[in-house]
């Protein structure tokens, strides 16, 4: 895969109020390291699924890639242009080229604005002249399969599926190159989920978009993505082609995560493979490999030495001292 988007060694930490950090971080520097050394690649026109348990840092990574959170270190390169350093003005440029589709489009938008104003707001924020704003709104509504008269409606007048389409229209208003969709199907009926995913696929072809889909839903990932990245405690632990990873996960966490999805056939359920225990707190990151406290295959080295992110012979990106072999599990 030729990388169109290349994220290299991103570190993000949040500054915490001193009162909290002095208790939880035992007077260390008052920052909570949420992303550590995160690397990720996305090819042009590809769809990458970003999965991991709650709190693993998916949203933080998505917001950092869209230029909404400045990283402490690391680089983001898009189409060959490299953005680095937390003061780089080019992060503004990233915000136009990579847009975010929020999980709950209505809650994230002003309830007092009409849909026509909401979906054309990105032009106003970025000071881009579009001539007749209402005509532009109607064009965007048409693009996402909504009647043009919806421009006059308010957010509370929309169904869940219609609201999601409005979210798509707003995310695509500036014709970005990459769209990061945060749980694009969460809370929707199954039939509506299919409609939204079909809409996204159609627009991907028409507009030559690349997607990153952030989700807990492994069925969505399996059927809509070509690449899969697995996050654990603020790090990517494995990335590779989706079919390949589902077929042959290499990281023990990936395998446990995929096996924890209930199987429709009781004979094929593997309760023994479910992930042990809770995800550790970011305040008490384990030494060595972050996953060793829950890994059935952990050895002494895993408890002592942090694994590097390496590329395997078959091109898989992996952070594990003892990757699973085809016969394991
Ligand atoms: N602004 C912030 N200040 C301090 N901590 C934060 C901030 N934003 C996120 N965090 C912490 O960073 C960690 C990762 O959060 P994030 O929302 O990125 O995870 P996630 O994988 O997207 O979770 P979910 O699947 O539940 O949305 C969490 O422990 C969260 O509490």
* 285 C-beta neighbours (distance < 10 Å), count: 13
Tens-digit pLDDT profile for residues 21-46: 565 555 455 678 899 999 999 999 99
Is residue 133 over pLDDT 80?
yes
Probe residue for ligand 1, chosen from 31, 52, 55, 62 as the CB with the greatest number of ligand atoms within 8 Å: 55
pLDDT score at 19: 64
Both structure tokens of 173:
């208003």
CA pair distance 8, 315, nearest whole angstrom: 17
Which residue minimizes the CA distance to atom 4 of ligand 1?
14
Helix or strand holding residue 230 (H, E):
strand 227-232
ipTM score of the complex?
0.96
Which residue minimizes the CA distance to atom 9 of ligand 1?
60
DSSP per residue, 25-48: STTS-SEEEEEEEEEEEEETT-EE
pTM: 0.89
User: What dihedral angle (degrees, nearest 10) is formed by the CA atoms of 86, 88, 89, 90?
Assistant: -110
Query: When comparing pLDDT for 89 and 313, which is higher?
Result: 313
Is residue 58 over pLDDT 90?
yes
34 lines ligand 1 (CB under 6 A): yes
For β-strands 210-214 and 178-182, DSSP reports them as: parallel
CA 282 to centroid of ligand 1, rounded, Å:
10
CA 4 to centroid of ligand 1, rounded, Å:
26
Which residue minimizes the CA distance to atom 31 of ligand 1?
55
14 lines ligand 1 (CB under 6 A): yes
Provide the strand spans (E) within 56-147. Answer: 73-78, 81-84, 98-101
Both structure tokens of 315:
């091109």
């Amino acid at each position: 895969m030729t990388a169109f988007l290349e994220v290299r060694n991103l570190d993000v930490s949040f500054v915490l109020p001193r009162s909290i950090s002095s208790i939880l971080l035992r007077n260390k520097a008052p920052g909570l390291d949420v992303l550590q050394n995160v690397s990720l690649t996305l090819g042009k026109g590809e769809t990458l699924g970003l999965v991991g348990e709650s709190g693993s840092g998916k949203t933080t990574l998505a917001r950092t890639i869209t230029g909404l959170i400045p990283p402490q270190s690391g680089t983001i390169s898009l189409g060959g242009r490299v953005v680095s350093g937390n003061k780089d003005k080019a992060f503004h440029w990233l915000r136009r080229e990579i847009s975010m589709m929020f999980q709950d489009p209505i809650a994230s938008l002003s309830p007092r604005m009409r849909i026509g104003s909401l979906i054309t707001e990105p032009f106003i924020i970025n000071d881009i002249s579009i001539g007749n704003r209402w005509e532009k709104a109607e064009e965007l509504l048409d693009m996402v399969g909504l009647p043009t008269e919806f421009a006059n409606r308010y957010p509370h007048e929309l169904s869940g599926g219609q609201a999601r389409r409005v979210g798509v229209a707003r995310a695509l208003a500036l014709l970005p190159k990459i769209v990061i969709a945060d749980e694009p199907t969460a809370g929707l009926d199954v039939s509506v989920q299919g409609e939204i995913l079909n809409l996204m696929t159609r627009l991907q072809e028409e507009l030559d978009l690349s997607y990153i889909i952030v989700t807990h839903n492994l069925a969505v990932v399996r059927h809509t993505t070509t690449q899969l990245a697995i996050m654990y405690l603020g790090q990517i632990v494995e990335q590779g082609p989706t079919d390949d990873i589902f077929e042959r996960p290499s990281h023990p966490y990936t395998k446990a995560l995929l096996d924890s999805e209930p199987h429709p056939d009781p004979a094929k359920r593997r309760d023994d493979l479910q992930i042990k225990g809770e995800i550790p707190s970011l305040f008490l990151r384990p030494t060595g490999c972050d996953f060793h406290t829950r890994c059935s295959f952990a050895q002494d080295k895993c408890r002592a030495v942090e694994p590097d992110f390496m590329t395997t012979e078959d091109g898989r990106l992996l952070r594990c001292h003892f990757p699973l072999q085809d016969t394991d599990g």
